Amino acid sequence: MRRALCLSISLAAALLSPSGAAHGANDPLLRPIEPDYARQWLDPERPHRIFGNSYSVGFGGLSVALIRTDAGLILIDGALPQAVRDIEANIRALGFSIRDVKLILSTEPHYDHAGGLAALARDSGAPVVASAYAAQVLRKAGKDANDPQASIFVRIPAVTKLRIARSGEAVRLGGVTITPVATPGHTMGSMSWRWRSCEGRDCRDMVFASSLNAVSGDGYRFSDPAHRSQVAALRKSFAIMRALPCDMLITAHPDQGKGANCRSYADSAQARLDARLRKEASARPWNALR
Ligand SMILES: [Zn+2]
Please state the domain extents for the chain.
Answer: 30-285
Phi, then psi, of 75 in degrees rounded to 5: -110, 140
Q: How far is the CA of 187 from the centre of ligand 1 (A)?
A: 7
Using CB atoms within 10 Å of the CB of residue 279, give its burial: 0 to 12 exposed, 13 to 18 middle, 19+ buried: exposed
- What totals of helices (H) and strands (E) does the chain contain, helices first? 10, 12
- pLDDT of 130 higher than 80: yes
State how far the Cα of 183 lies from the Cα of 126, in Å rounded to an integer. Answer: 24
Determine the pLDDT at residue 184.
Answer: 98
Determine the pLDDT at residue 283.
Answer: 86
Q: How far is the CA of 284 from the centre of ligand 1 (A)?
A: 27
Looking at the chain, how many residues does it have? 290
Amino acid found at 106: S
Q: How far is the CA of 188 from the centre of ligand 1 (A)?
A: 11
Determine the pLDDT at residue 6.
Answer: 43
Determine the pLDDT at residue 23.
Answer: 52
- pLDDT of 117 higher than 70: yes
* Whole-number average pLDDT of the chain: 92
State how far the Cα of 130 lies from the Cα of 171, in Å rounded to an integer. Answer: 11
Q: How far is the CA of 243 from the centre of ligand 1 (A)?
A: 22
Q: How far is the CA of 220 from the centre of ligand 1 (A)?
A: 15
Q: How far is the CA of 141 from the centre of ligand 1 (A)?
A: 14
Determine the pLDDT at residue 18.
Answer: 46
Mind listing the pLDDT tens digit for each residue in 238-274?
999 999 999 999 999 999 999 999 999 999 999 999 9
Q: How far is the CA of 9 from the centre of ligand 1 (A)?
A: 38
Mind listing the pLDDT tens digit for each residue in 10-60?
444 444 444 444 455 689 999 999 999 999 999 999 999 999 999 999 999
Q: How far is the CA of 114 from the centre of ligand 1 (A)?
A: 9
What share of the chain has pLDDT > 70, as a percent?
89
Q: How far is the CA of 197 from the centre of ligand 1 (A)?
A: 27
Q: Which architecture characterizes domain 30-285 according to CATH?
A: 4-Layer Sandwich (3.60)
Q: How far is the CA of 14 from the centre of ligand 1 (A)?
A: 31
